[in-house]
Amino acid sequence: MKNLAELCTILIENQLGELSAQIFATLAEHGRLPIPTLAHHSGIPSRRVRTGLANLLEAQLILHFAAEEDAPTFYSVNWRNAYNLARHTNIVELVNERFGERAGHLVGNILQLGHARVGDLAEAYELAPGSKRDNGVDGATNHATDAGMVNGAAKPSAANTSQMTSANEFHGTLRALLRSGILVKVGMRAFMPSSDLQEQIEEMVIVEQFPDRKVTGPKKQAEFKQAVHALKRKWRDDDTYSDLHDGGSKGAIKRPGEHFQPSNKRIKLNGVPNGLDAANGEQEVPKLPNDLVVRVDFTRCVLSLRSRRLQQYAKRFMGGVSAEVYGALLQVLEGKTRSVRDELAPEDDEDEEEKLPVANISEVAEVLDPTIDLGATIKGLASSNGVPNGVGKHKTEADDGIKREDSDDEEKPNGFTSYRDRAKRMSLIEAHLSLLEEHGKSFCQRARAHNSNEWRVNFPALTSMLIEAELDNTVKDRYGQIALRIVRMLRDRGKLDEKLVASNVMMRVKDVRAILTQLQFHGILEAQELPKDNGRQPSRTLYLWFFDPKRVQSLVLQQSYKAMSRTLQRIPVERERYRTIIEKAERTDIKGHEQEKLEAIEKQMLREWREIEERLLAQVARVDEIVALLRDFSGKDTSLAT
C-alpha cells in the first residue's frame, strides 16, 4: 500500500492542498483515528484538523463512524475515491462520448466538488459567470481534475459550447445520467466504512429478530444471513434513484431509437408543439428536487470503461462496424449487470453463465447508431444504392409519373420507413453478432437455444483474457520476444526445469539460464528448489521454474501506482522551468489575450509548457487504464476494502 498511499497523497495535494494531503497521509499510515489522536500524530492543531477533515469529507475522500451519539468519531481513508481522483479525465471522456460535451462538463463539475445538491448546481449554472466561480462551479470551463493543477486551481476560463443553456436541458441531462447510473443519490450511509455498516446491519437484525442473541445452528445461521441480505437490499433500494420517488417523471413513451432521431411529427397546441416550452421551444422536463444530493458512481463507471476496453479489443480483430455493434450490446448489458463489487450477489450453485445478463437484438438496435452501414463489411450483404441499412427516403411515383420523396414529417419508428427495413437491420445486427460469436476470442454467445434471439457476454472470461494479454505485452516490451515465449510456455505447462525449458524454446541451456535469471530478478518468474539428497548442495538440487499470474499482476499494479506518482511529481518540476511565463500568462490583463499581448518567444514557451503538461497527464490517464484492467474490471480485488 506504500505506492498507493504516496499516489493518493499527491492527488489530494493537487486537488485540495497541503493540509488535506497531510491529514490523509496520517490516516493512511496509522489507520482510523479520532480527532485528538489525529492531531497528535500529524502535529496539526485540532482546529485546522477539523477544517481539513471537512474538506476531505466533502470530497468523499475519508469515511467516519461513531458507535453512539456521545462516542468519539473515528475517521479512516476511502482508498477507492482517493485513487479515483486520477480517473476523472477518463470518466469525463466517457461521458462526452455517450451523452455529449455538456453532460461531460456537468459530470466534471460534480467530480470537482465530490458531491453537490441539485439546487446548488442549477443556481450556479443560471447565475452570471462571475458568480458561478463563487459557488465552486465554473459554467464555462471543464473542471475535470488535472493532477498537475496546484490546489485544484481552475484552468484559464474560456467560453465554450459545453455550458448548459436552460433549466430544461440541465434537468434532462441530470435525469439521463441518473437513469444510466453514472450519477447516484448520496445518503449518510455513503460516508460510513463498509465494515462498520455491516456490523450495524447485523446488530439491527439480531436486536429485532433474535432477542436472545443466539445465532447458532445451520437453520438460524441461514435465517440470519437471509435477514441481513434483506436489510442490505432495502437500504440499497432506498439509496437508489427512482423517477417515481425522486421527482415524479411524466412517463413519456420512448420509441426505439428516439434518442438518435426524435419524431418530427407532433401535435401543436396554440402554435407550440405539444410537450414543448413556449418560451424557448424546448421539450418540458420535470425538474428534480433541489435538495437531492448526487455524486458520480465510480463502480458504474468501471462497467462502462470495461465495455469501452472490450469494444476496442474487438475492433482489433473484427473491424469498426462489428465493434460498434458489439459496443451497443455491451451498453445494453451494462444496465442489467450487477456492480463488479456487488455484495448482494446470490451465492448458490447456479451455473456461472446462467447468471450473466442477456439482451435481445431489438434492444441492441435501439442503442446502435442508425447511420452506420452494417452491410458494408459483410460480403453479399452490402446496402444497396449507397443507403445505410436500407434506411432512407423512399421514392414514390405519383399518377403523373413524377417520382417524389416522402415528407420528412412522416412518423419514422426507430428511423425506419417500413417493416422490411427494420427486419433487414435486425438480420444485419444478428450477422455481426454471429461473427463475434464465431471468433476464437468468443466475444459473445447466444443465450439458451441455438436460434435464440438473446445474446450474452462472458465478462469474467473476457476480462481474464484482457489481463493475460496486458501481462504478455508488459513482458514483451520490457524483456523481449524470447522472454515472452518462455513466460507463455510456463503458464501453459506449469513447472519445468531449465533443460525442459531450453528444449521447448529450442535454445541452448546457457542462453535460457540467463533469461530465466533476469526474469526472476525482476519478479516475473519464481524457482522452486527440489534437493536430490539431504545435503541440499546447489549442484545436487533441481530447480523448477514457474510463472504465477496473480503475483505478476499485483507486481505490475504496484509498479503502475509508482509510475503515476513519479509522473505527477514531474509536473511541478517542469512547471518551475516555465514559472516566469506561466505567471505572466495567468495575469488578469493577459489571460484570454495571449496572442495579442505576448511576444513570439513567450508564446512559444507557453505552448511548450502546455504540450509537456498535456503529455504527462495523458500518460497518467493511460496508466490508469492499466490499473482499471488489472484491479477493477474483475471485481475480485479486495486491496482497497474499507
Residue 135 binned pLDDT confidence (cut-offs 50, 70, 90): very low
- pLDDT > 70 fraction of the chain, expressed in percent and rounded: 78
Phi, psi dihedrals of residue 93, rounded to the nearest 5°: -65, -40
**What sign does the dihedral 333-338-340-346 (CA atoms) show?**
negative
Beta-bridge partners for 397: 403
Beta-bridge partners for 505: none
CA distances from 283 to 257, 275, 279 (A): 17, 5, 11
Long-range contacts of 607-614 (CB under 8 A, 24+ apart): 608/578, 609/574, 609/575, 609/577, 609/578, 609/581, 609/582, 612/574, 613/146, 613/148, 613/571, 613/574, 613/575
pLDDT of residue 288: 84
Q: Which of 43-57, 109-123, 162-176, 585-599 has the lowest mean pLDDT?
A: 162-176
pLDDT of residue 400: 45
Residue 187 binned pLDDT confidence (cut-offs 50, 70, 90): confident
Alpha-carbon distance of 224 to 229, in angstroms, equals 9
Residue 341 binned pLDDT confidence (cut-offs 50, 70, 90): low
Cβ neighbours for 154, distance < 8 A, ≥ 6 positions apart: 133, 138, 141, 143
Alpha-carbon distance of 552 to 474, in angstroms, equals 10
Number of helical (H) and strand (E) elements in the chain, helices listed first: 24, 15
Rounding to the nearest 10 degrees, give the CA dihedral for residues 559, 561, 564, 568.
-130
Length of the chain: 642
Nearest to 617 by CA among 88, 84, 78: 88
Alpha-carbon distance of 538 to 90, in angstroms, equals 51
Alpha-carbon distance of 540 to 546, in angstroms, equals 20
Alpha-carbon distance of 191 to 76, in angstroms, equals 10
* pLDDT tens profile 482-493: 999 999 999 999
Q: Return the C-alpha cell found at 601.
A: 518567444
Give the type of residue at 580: T
* pLDDT tens profile 229-278: 888 888 887 777 776 666 544 444 344 444 444 444 433 433 434 444 44
Grid look-up 469525463 returns: 92
Long-range contacts of 386-389 (CB under 8 A, 24+ apart): 389/421, 389/424, 389/425, 389/428
Beta-bridge partners for 283: 276
pLDDT of residue 448: 74
Q: If you average pLDDT over residues 462-466, what whole number do you get?
A: 94
SS3 of 451-507: the string is CCCEEECCHHHHHHHHHHHHHHHHHHHHHCHHHHHHHHHHHHHCCEEHHHHHHHHCC
Beta-bridge partners for 276: 283
Q: If you average pLDDT over residues 220-225, what whole number do you get?
A: 87
Alpha-carbon distance of 327 to 324, in angstroms, equals 5
Residue 136 binned pLDDT confidence (cut-offs 50, 70, 90): very low
Alpha-carbon distance of 622 to 563, in angstroms, equals 11
CA distances from 427 to 420, 423, 424, 448, 455 (A): 11, 6, 5, 19, 14
Give, in words, the CATH class of 462-547.
Answer: mainly alpha
Nearest to 204 by CA among 173, 230, 239: 230
pLDDT at 141 over 70: no
**What sign does the dihedral 278-283-284-290 (CA atoms) show?**
negative
Cβ neighbours for 613, distance < 8 A, ≥ 6 positions apart: 146, 148, 571, 574, 575
Cβ neighbours for 109, distance < 8 A, ≥ 6 positions apart: 116, 121, 137, 138, 143
622 versus 391: which is more confidently predicted?
622
Residue 154 binned pLDDT confidence (cut-offs 50, 70, 90): very low
Q: Which of 2-11, 18-27, 450-459 has the lowest mean pLDDT?
A: 450-459
Cβ neighbours for 558, distance < 8 A, ≥ 6 positions apart: 3, 4
pLDDT of residue 642: 65
Beta-bridge partners for 456: 358, 445
Nearest to 162 by CA among 116, 114, 95: 95
Long-range contacts of 618-622 (CB under 8 A, 24+ apart): 619/567, 620/86, 620/89, 620/147, 620/564, 620/567, 620/568, 621/86, 621/89, 621/90
Question: Which sequence spans correspond to the domains of the chain?
Answer: 1-79, 86-135+163-250+286-296, 299-344+355-380+427-457, 462-547, 553-633
Alpha-carbon distance of 25 to 11, in angstroms, equals 11
Cβ contact 79:63 at 8 Å? no
pLDDT of residue 197: 87
Alpha-carbon distance of 168 to 186, in angstroms, equals 23
Mean pLDDT of the chain: 81
pLDDT of residue 342: 54
Beta-bridge partners for 63: 76
pLDDT of residue 593: 85
Cβ contact 169:106 at 8 Å? no
Q: Which of 125-134, 419-428, 436-445 has the lowest mean pLDDT?
A: 125-134
* pLDDT tens profile 507-554: 999 999 999 999 999 999 999 988 888 877 887 888 899 999 999 999
Phi, psi dihedrals of residue 68, rounded to the nearest 5°: -140, 175
The architecture CATH gives domain 299-344+355-380+427-457: Orthogonal Bundle (1.10)
Q: If you average pLDDT over residues 117-145, what whole number do you get?
A: 57
Q: Would you say domain 1-79 falls under CATH 1.10.10.10?
A: yes
pLDDT of residue 273: 42
Beta-bridge partners for 546: 526
Instruction: Tell me if residue 249 falls in helix, strand or coil.
Output: coil
As to burial, measured by CB atoms within 10 angstroms (0-12 exposed, 13-18 middle, 19+ buried), residue 599 is exposed
Q: Which of 80-89, 221-230, 376-385, 458-467 has the lowest mean pLDDT?
A: 376-385
Cβ contact 338:347 at 8 Å? no
Residue 634 binned pLDDT confidence (cut-offs 50, 70, 90): confident
Query: Matching CATH topology for 299-344+355-380+427-457 and 462-547?
Result: yes
pLDDT of residue 520: 94
pLDDT of residue 195: 86
Is the pTM higher than 0.95? The answer reads no
* pLDDT tens profile 587-611: 888 888 888 888 899 989 999 999 9
pLDDT at 151 over 50: no
Instruction: Tell me if residue 268 falls in helix, strand or coil.
Output: strand
